[in-house]
Amino acid sequence: MAVLDINEKILDVVQFADIVFWPVAMDIKYKDVEAMPDNYIDVCFFNGSIRNSEQEHMAKLLRRKSKLLIAYGACAHLGGVPGLANLHNKKEIFEKVYVTTFSTYNPTGVYPQPKVQVKEGTLEIPEFYNTVRTLDQTVDVDYYVPGCPPAVERTIFALESIAKGELPPKGSVLAPLKSVCDECSKKKEDKKISRIYRVYEKTPDPEKCLLEQGIICMGPATRGGCSARCLKVDMPCTGCGGPCPNTPEQGAAMISALASILGLEEEKEKYTEEEVEKLIDQIKDPVGTFYMYSLPASILRRKVIRE
């Protein structure tokens, strides 16, 4: 639905394009897409990560039917928030959802199965995979539009580039090369911090850099193109734009930036090992903080669980 954020410009889209598949807005079935000739669709904006067999089927189907396939949004681009499920395996997730939650009554431990025989026949549901994947870990992708949701200006840029035939080289992220920090108007003073605050623990000065006030902001490690929209309402960047082009490992880049502002690199002789541990312990959810949207696309990809 992020496409609708472009408001009246959607009318410009229908002037140069026929929309043939839009599940949330059109009554069209998978069989209708399957009946289309290969490469029938000029451009497909695909949103969502690949979590189950239905999503994988649609990714492969739309790749075959489309001349250009664009990963639209953080989930298709990087795995997104659903990608944090890679910290667990299928067994752990099913046990939590269908057995151990307080409100669940399932004494026999019944889990969903891809096929179930009932008196009316065979019921089929998508197979739930062990690992969340990005779109380009499943099929070949031509372009990427970052964001959760994509900023209006990124959607408009993508549509206008397509309409004018001015797309960059294949594989490009359709966003600027600068970081969110470069787009943020808050004052930066290269100030060191001695404590990390969670968002609810401190009311920030709206004029000053949130990171320099001790609030973790992913701006230094995140590609811009969103006009720093979260920072404008004094909320820290959480990294939905993905890594900057020169630092593809987003979490590692942010850890480096945080170590610098904590003074752990330049003034490491001032800190005992115990003091460093206390600073690190203030980061309550390291993976969820540094890889909120990008875990499946990172070199970590998932937690290794030995059964």
Shared-domain flag, residues 66 and 148: yes
Shared-domain flag, residues 125 and 144: no
Res 202: pLDDT: 93
Shared-domain flag, residues 113 and 125: yes
Residues 6 or more apart whose CB falls under 8 angstroms from that of 269 comprise none
Domain assignment present for residue 169? The answer is no
d(CA 32, CA 29): 5
Measured in degrees and rounded to the nearest 5, phi and psi for residue 269 equal: -70, -20
Quick one: which of 2, 254, 249 has its CA closest to 148?
2
Shared-domain flag, residues 212 and 142: no
Mean pLDDT by 10 residues, the chain (307 residues): 78 86 90 97 98 98 98 98 97 94 92 92 95 98 98 94 95 97 94 89 96 96 97 97 95 93 68 81 94 97 85
Q: What is the pLDDT of residues 181-199, one digit of tens each?
A: 999 999 999 888 888 999 9
Quick one: which of 73, 64, 34, 51 has its CA closest to 137?
51
Res 264: pLDDT: 65
Domain assignment present for residue 14? The answer is yes
Shared-domain flag, residues 122 and 141: no
Domain assignment present for residue 115? The answer is yes
Q: What is the pLDDT of residues 79-110, one digit of tens each?
A: 999 999 999 999 999 999 999 999 999 998 89
Shared-domain flag, residues 154 and 28: yes
d(CA 112, CA 149): 30
Q: What is the pLDDT of residues 35-54, one digit of tens each?
A: 999 999 999 999 999 999 99
How many domains does one find in the chain?
3
Domain assignment present for residue 302? The answer is no
d(CA 89, CA 132): 10
Domain assignment present for residue 235? The answer is yes
Task: Specify the pTM.
Answer: 0.91
Q: What share of the chain is helix, strand, coil (3-state, %, to 5)?
A: 40, 15, 50
Shared-domain flag, residues 17 and 32: yes
Shared-domain flag, residues 159 and 53: yes
d(CA 78, CA 261): 27
Quick one: which of 180, 149, 198 has its CA closest to 254?
180
Shared-domain flag, residues 94 and 135: no
> Bridge-partner residues for 122, per DSSP?
117
High-pLDDT (> 70) share of the chain, %: 97
Contact (CB, 8 A) for 135 and 62: no
Shared-domain flag, residues 158 and 15: yes
Residues 6 or more apart whose CB falls under 8 angstroms from that of 249 comprise 243, 298, 299
Which helix (DSSP H) or strand (DSSP E) does residue 58 occupy? helix 53-65
Domain span holding position 20: 2-82+131-164
Which helix (DSSP H) or strand (DSSP E) does residue 159 occupy? helix 152-164
CA dihedral (3, 54, 50, 112) positive or negative: positive
Shared-domain flag, residues 56 and 159: yes
Res 276: pLDDT: 79
CATH number at residue 155: 3.40.50.700
Domain assignment present for residue 275? The answer is yes
DSSP assignment of 80-129 equals TGGGGGGGS-HHHHHHIIIIISTT---TT-----SEEEETTEEEE-PPEE
Domain assignment present for residue 120? The answer is yes
Shared-domain flag, residues 151 and 19: yes
Domain assignment present for residue 186? The answer is yes
